Structure 1
Amino acid sequence: MFMQIVKKKAFICFMSLLLVLFWVLSCEKDNTKQKRTIEDLTGKMPKGMVWVQTKTFLQGAKATDKYAMQREKPAHKVKVDGFFIDKTEVTNAQFKAFVAATNYVTVAERKIDWNALKKQLPSGTQKPHDSLLQPGSLIFNKHVKAVVGMQNYAQWWTWKSGANWRHPQGPKSSIQGKDDFPVVHIAREDALAYCKWANRRLPTEAEWESAALGNETATIFTWGNKQSMLNKNANTWQGVFPTKNIDKDGFKYLAPVKKYPPNSIGLYDMLGNVWELTNDLYNVNYYKELDTSKIIHNPKGASTSYSPTNPYQVEYIIKGGSFLCHESYCASFRISAKMGTSADTGSDHVGFRTVATKEMLQVDK
């Protein structure tokens, strides 16, 4: 009898082990099958990119977003087809490789053409002194001690001759040792030139929001809806804007990429650090003119640009906010937030990342 009990227990243990082994092998098989299915759908995964699956989501301001602005309303459902997107903003190292291969000269490195510039200004605008028409770009004034009101942003922005992607703060600065920082002082023309070289393109606003949401469909931030997690997840401004930054998040100004946790699909710095260029024209009335009774498939944005604050300029949407964003000013560390930037201007807090479709990547093979 004793031996029969022992044999019975041994048999039960053996069968249990077989079941566990079968379950493990089944899981591995399922995971392999899932991985192969993703590869079948997307083709070869491009280096440094992430696949954003096709999905329907709520674009624009969420109902519980206390910082939502009128240009982000009304929220509306969109469906965006799957695409690849860079894990990070384009870095100095990547842009350096592009310039080395093409000898490209950015807009900020070229002398300003007054005849071209005056077409974007009110009629009768006087030509500024030649010293102000030298190559350069906008930089944030880190030495502001006090401001009068928050409407005049010229109080904390300075035109710096000699500022460009190689010299972000002016001629005496450099990007040496900063290969993993986002490239800045990039105008739309520069970003498009890089995209052409790399066989990529700029994302639409809807694609950008789809990517920022990750596996979610209606959250305010890339990590969810809790603003209390901001400092752990994004490089923004803490303290008193624009006079005092106490860098609770670890960085006072620009940070290298990948210093904060990625979103649910592995994308870094979709909020904060630098604003990101998109391909959509900036029009404050665009959402209000949409037919929100139906799901909009792959929206391409407004057909014309319109901003009451810059009516003479053609502006494009930038997304994600930057290291300068603070709740007392722009509060643009949100997925739905957007601003406009002129096509021919860069600054030290605007960069970009690129996207690609399966069809585009066929050219790479």
Structure 2
Amino acid sequence: MVAIPGGVYLMGSPVTDQEGQDYEKPRHEVKVSGFAIGKYEISKSQFAAFVEAANYNPGNECWTMEAGKGEMRSNRNWSAPGYPQDSDHPATCVSVDDAEAYIKWLNQKTGKHYRLPTEAEWEYAARGGSAAARFWGDNPDGACKYANVADLSLQKADSKVIPHNCEDGYVFTAPVAVTRLTRLGFTTCWEMSGNGPAVRIADTVPAKRKNVPACYRGASTAAVRGSIPRTMSVPPLATAIFRHFGSITWDFAWRAIIELYPGWPGI
């Protein structure tokens, strides 16, 4: 876990941003309390330990992007997401229910109080103290130094991909601890805006929430941050401000947080 002090920042995208989606706007001031966030995404080996210990059944269906087509597919889950992975890669093809079940098990196992981050907490960490859409700056082609995104190596495997004009060395997901860092101004985290999966967020989407497409509103719909699947981490989406919403099992991974308190000794 990485401790992140509380603070105030401008969340979202300015109305003048041509690249931003309408439901990322307008930019507004948000105050965030201190929290600690996972330095890495939850890995396949960590999720496998949970599945075995809890006798958990995450299902056998997942929305994936394959051969340029995104759809729900059978025989796809965290252990078979449709592309090769090692045990130290992020656990993908999970639902928000899977993430919540993992965290409930983790809390019982450790006696801690982990949870998923809110949208405001996640964006605060992903921005790394930067006002730009990408913590390294406005140039999307700088992504490969810091994130595993849709790049030229992926385009070689899938010609329909519109990539970043760079190569990060991985066609699909990468190990969770490869040296790609979000330098937070206050600390460092790995892969906040890439490595294929996005991050399921604790927020549900209220029926009357502004700037959210009507089809995404509802108590069962979770907000998703952090680009989207590896094959869709194209330049406009691999940012700290990109938002999406969904209630199904997607090709996503996540990381947990824990709230800080005065005199917090560490985790």
How far apart, CA to CA, are the structure 1 residues paired with 2:103 and 2:55? 15
Task: Identify which of 247, 259, 262 aligns with 1:357.
Answer: 259
Say whether 1:201 aligns with 2:123.
no
For 1:190, the equivalent position in structure 2 comes to 98
Aligned 1:285-300 pairs, distance under 5 A: 286=209
For 1:165, the equivalent position in structure 2 comes to 78
- 4+ residue stretches of structure 1 with deviation over 6 A? none
Secondary structure of residue in 2 paired with 1:235: coil
Shift of 1:245: 6.8
For 2:194, the equivalent position in structure 1 comes to 272
Secondary structure of residue in 2 paired with 1:207: helix
Task: Identify which of 123, 127, 145 aligns with 1:213.
Answer: 127
Secondary structure of residue in 1 paired with 2:23: helix
Note the residue ranges of structure 2 that are not aligned, 5 or more in a row. 108-113
Say whether 1:320 aligns with 2:245.
no
Secondary structure of residue in 2 paired with 1:332: coil
Contact 2:201 2:225 in 1 (8 A): yes
- The amino acid of 1:210's aligned partner reads Y
After superposition, give the CA deviation of every residue in 1:155-196 in whole Å (9 maximum; x if it has no partner).
x12433221112222xxx775xx1111101111111111111
Secondary structure of residue in 1 paired with 2:88: coil
Change (3 A) 1:217 1:248: closer
How far apart, CA to CA, are the structure 1 residues paired with 2:84 and 2:141? 35
For 1:346, the equivalent position in structure 2 comes to 249
For 1:243, the equivalent position in structure 2 comes to 160
Contact 1:60 1:336 in 2 (8 A): yes
After superposition, give the CA deviation of every residue in 1:206-249 in whole Å (9 maximum; x if it has no partner).
010111122x1523212233333122222222367872477722
For 2:147, the equivalent position in structure 1 comes to 234
Change (3 A) 1:231 1:358: closer
Shift of 1:255: 2.0
Contact 2:204 2:219 in 1 (8 A): no
After superposition, give the CA deviation of every residue in 1:96-153 in whole Å (9 maximum; x if it has no partner).
12122211111xx2xxxxxxxxxxxxxxxxxxxxxxxxx42222213x4xxxxxxxxx
Say whether 1:73 aligns with 2:25.
yes
Say whether 1:261 aligns with 2:180.
yes
Note the residue ranges of structure 1 that are not aligned, 5 or more in a row. 1-48, 110-134, 145-155, 289-305
For 1:307, the equivalent position in structure 2 comes to 213
How far apart, CA to CA, are the structure 2 residues paired with 1:65 and 1:338? 14
Change (3 A) 1:207 1:283: same
How far apart, CA to CA, are the structure 2 residues paired with 1:260 and 1:213? 18
Task: Identify which of 63, 66, 72 aligns with 1:141.
Answer: 66
- The amino acid of 1:358's aligned partner reads L
- The amino acid of 2:246's aligned partner reads T
After superposition, give the CA deviation of every residue in 1:243-293 in whole Å (9 maximum; x if it has no partner).
2477722222222223342111211111022110001124697456xxxxx
Contact 2:10 2:29 in 1 (8 A): yes
How far apart, CA to CA, are the structure 2 residues paired with 1:63 and 1:249? 31
For 1:334, the equivalent position in structure 2 comes to 239
Structure of greater Rg: 1
Instruction: Write 1 or 2 for the structure with the bigger share of helix.
Output: 1
Contact 2:180 2:190 in 1 (8 A): yes
Secondary structure of residue in 2 paired with 1:219: coil
Change (3 A) 1:316 1:244: closer
Contact 2:208 2:217 in 1 (8 A): no
Instruction: Write 1 or 2 for the structure with the bigger share of strand.
Output: 2
Shift of 1:65: 4.2
Aligned 1:6-25 pairs, distance under 5 A: none
Contact 2:15 2:25 in 1 (8 A): no
Structure 1 vs Structure 2: percent identity of aligned residues?
A: 28
Q: What is the root-mean-square deviation of aligned Cα atoms in Å?
A: 2.9
| Superposition TM-score, scaled by structure 2 size | 0.81
How far apart, CA to CA, are the structure 2 residues paired with 1:136 and 1:79? 38
How far apart, CA to CA, are the structure 1 residues paired with 2:140 and 2:96? 31
| Superposition TM-score, scaled by structure 1 size | 0.60
- The amino acid of 1:334's aligned partner reads T
How far apart, CA to CA, are the structure 1 residues paired with 2:17 and 2:43? 31
How far apart, CA to CA, are the structure 1 residues paired with 2:24 and 2:161? 29
